[in-house]
Structures are given as C-alpha cells and as structure tokens.
C-alpha cells in the first residue's frame, strides 16, 4: 500500500492517482469558476484552508509538475477572452488558474493542511481498495498456489534433508568440521526465515475479525445520501432487525429508517453523511431526540454519522437515550461488530 510519505515525495506515485479527482468533493465541496473547469489561487487556498502565499510558494517550488496537470497563467488577449467567456470580473494583468487535476496535485504536495491530509487519506484508502479487490483469475490462483507449495517444499527439504546431511558430514569429517558447522547454521537460518515468512503471509492474507476492512470508509464516503441510508438499513437487517423501512425524504419528520430489533423493540434511525472533517452538533441531536422519542416513541434511537460528534452532542445523545454511531463506531459496525443496543 502506498504510504503518505511516499506520496509526498514521489512524483511517479502522485501521477499514478491523479485521475481520482472525485476525491476532492468527497472531502469538501470544491467551488469552480463559472466555466466549471478551473479555480483561482485564492479559491485553492480557501479549499485547503491556508494562505494565498502558501499556494503561491508551492507553485514556485513545483511549477513544472503543476503545469503538466493543468496549472496555467493567463495574460493579454488570452486573459481577456477567458474573462469574456467565463463572465468573471478581474482587473489584474494576469490570472493563475488551476484545473481539478492541479488542485489534486496541490493536495499531494501541501504538507501543513488538514484538508490536504484528508484528501491524501482518501486517495490511499481508494488505492488500497483497488489493489486488494479479489480477481477471479484461475491462472493467478494456480500461480499463487504453486508458489506456496514451492516455499513449503523448500522448507521441508532444508529441514528434512539438507540439515541431516550436514549433521552426518560433521560427524565424519574432522578437517572441514568448522566450515560445515557454519554452513549448517546458514541453512538453518534460511529454513527459519522461510517458516517465519510463510506464517507472516498467512496472517496477512487470512481474515482479520479484530479490525475493520481497509478502505471501508472510503466506500461509504463515496455514497450519496440515499445510498448511505440503504447501507445502514442493510446493517440493521444483518444484525437481526425486522420491518426495516426507509423513510428519508420529504415528510420523514426527522427519521430516516424505522424497524424493530430481534426482540421487538421499536427502532428509529437518523443518517448523516457528512464530510469527515465536520462534526454532528448538539442541535442536530436535539432535533432527533424529539423526533425519535416524542413523535415515534422509539425504544432504540440511533444517530449514524460519517463524522465525529462534538462533546456537547454526545452529552445530549446520552441524556436523550440516543446511541451516537460516530465514524469510528460505524467503521467497526461495517466490519461485522454488533451494536450493543441492538442485542
């Protein structure tokens, strides 16, 4: 998996993910100029929550790379034509423009920006998911199986044949005893490392029930609001809930999903697909408490969000009998952990 440090340092790695510009809007809405294709330096700075000087300094250091990905400076007649076509008002003699690719490029170069770090995190999650999706390829399966058998066979030969052979030679040889002992030690080291390598591969490739699947939150963040509600409804059904109904939309009275737990208790759910750098606030939870407990008289109330809750929101949820399913808990729930309140 590509790590963030490598992404910051390697142009080749940055180039490999520059097509994933959609990640920008999953982190934060990127406002575009009226032409629907470009943003100015000030708009880039606002997106990443840094100063304009920071972006300009970055351009100075990486101008050639950024120009390759759509950064350009308009002057003269080209600037006049752009103003006329796009309808923007600018009295400067030049105008620097960034394409979406160039903005993503900035995200992979800008170190001291919380938004840029979040973009890089999404890129890493998406890249990991793409690389680890199972491929139904019998040739690859056969090759992997063959490699595994070869590794085990080599280990078996070293342990059962080569080492005993050295033992016999050492017993009968006086002149080269020291050299043979050293060679045997080397063979035993190789055998031990092969066994450790095989055990490590089994741990890495085997199922891990103690942690969520890598990239699960990137998949959830890629959903729209309705898809997220349907996803949460499926999690409820997976955990034994019945009569699960999606009610999101006009007239939902603050409740997106209703249902019953396995033991018959009424369930009301609010789903919020917010950007991960935002937080659910106490007014959000207060409205849901009223809807869930007063209007729907639910016995189990879940506020499921793709972001954290503020401390005040957590307090309101606890006092109001609402289970706050924050981003971390949602990741665990998605990976198979059951919500205690549904048991």
Which of these three, 184, 205, 226, is where a domain ends? 205
| Residue 120 and residue 108 in contact, taking contact as beta carbons nearer than 8 Å | yes
Q: Are residues 179 and 97 in the same domain?
A: no
Q: Are residues 272 and 293 in the same domain?
A: yes
- Structure confidence at residue 217 (pLDDT): 78
Q: Would 47 be classed as within a structural domain? A: yes
Which of these three, 95, 114, 132, is where a domain ends? 132
Q: Would 210 be classed as within a structural domain? A: no
Q: How many folded domains does the chain comprise?
A: 3
Q: Would 93 be classed as within a structural domain? A: yes
- Structure confidence at residue 170 (pLDDT): 65
- Structure confidence at residue 213 (pLDDT): 43
- Structure confidence at residue 157 (pLDDT): 62
CATH number of the domain at 289, please. 3.40.1350.10
Q: Are residues 200 and 241 in the same domain?
A: no
254: left (phi > 0), else alpha (psi -120 to 50), else beta?
Answer: left
The residue range of the domain holding 277 is 216-342
Q: Are residues 250 and 322 in the same domain?
A: yes
- Structure confidence at residue 275 (pLDDT): 82
In the three-class reduction of DSSP (H, G, I as helix; E, B as strand; rest coil), residue 200 is classed as helix
Buried b (16+ CB within 10 A) or exposed e, 162-176: beeebeeebeeeeee
Work out the burial of residue 89: count CB atoms within 10 Å of its CB; fewer than 13 is exposed, 13-18 middle, 19 or more buried.
exposed
Q: Would 211 be classed as within a structural domain? A: no
- Structure confidence at residue 31 (pLDDT): 84
Q: Mean pLDDT for each 10-residue chunk of the chain (343 residues)?
A: 68 86 85 83 94 95 94 90 74 89 94 88 68 48 48 60 66 70 76 65 48 62 87 92 81 80 92 87 90 81 93 91 91 87 87
Statement: the pTM of the whole predicted model exceeds 0.85: no
- Structure confidence at residue 141 (pLDDT): 44
Q: Are residues 261 and 320 in the same domain?
A: yes
């Amino acid at each position: 998996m590509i790590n963030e440090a490598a992404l910051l340092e390697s142009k080749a790695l940055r180039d490999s993910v520059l097509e994933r510009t959609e990640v920008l809007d999953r982190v934060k809405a990127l406002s575009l100029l009226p032409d629907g294709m470009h943003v100015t330096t000030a708009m880039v700075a606002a997106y990443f929550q840094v100063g304009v000087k920071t972006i300009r300094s970055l351009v100075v250091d990486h101008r050639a790379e950024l120009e390759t990905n759509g950064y350009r400076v308009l002057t003269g007649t080209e600037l006049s034509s752009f103003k006329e076509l796009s309808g923007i008002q600018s009295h400067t003699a030049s105008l620097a423009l960034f394409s979406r690719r160039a903005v993503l490029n900035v995200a992979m170069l800008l170190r001291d920006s919380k938004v840029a770090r979040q973009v890089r995190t999404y890129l890493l999650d998406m890249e990991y998911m793409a690389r680890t999706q199972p491929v139904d390829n019998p040739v690859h399966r056969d090759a992997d199986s063959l490699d595994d058998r070869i590794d085990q066979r080599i280990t078996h030969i070293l342990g059962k044949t080569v080492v005993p052979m050295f033992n016999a030679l050492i017993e009968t040889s006086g002149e080269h005893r020291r050299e043979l002992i050293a060679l045997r030690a080397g063979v035993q080291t190789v055998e031990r490392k092969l066994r450790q390598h095989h055990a490590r591969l089994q741990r890495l490739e085997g199922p891990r029930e103690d942690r969520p699947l890598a990239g699960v939150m990137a998949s959830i963040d890629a959903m729209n609001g309705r898809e997220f509600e349907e996803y949460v409804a499926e999690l409820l059904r997976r955990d034994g809930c019945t009569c699960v109904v999606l009610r999101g939309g006009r007239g939902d009275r603050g409740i997106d999903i209703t249902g019953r737990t396995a033991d018959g208790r009424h369930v009301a759910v609010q789903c919020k697909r917010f950007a991960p750098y935002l937080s659910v606030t106490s007014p959000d939870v207060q409205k849901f408490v009223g809807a869930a407990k007063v209007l729907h008289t639910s016995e189990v109330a879940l506020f499921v969000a793709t972001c954290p809750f503020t401390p005040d929101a957590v307090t309101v949820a606890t006092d109001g009998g609402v289970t706050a399913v924050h981003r971390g808990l949602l990741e665990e729930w998605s990976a198979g952990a059951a919500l205690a309140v549904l048991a």
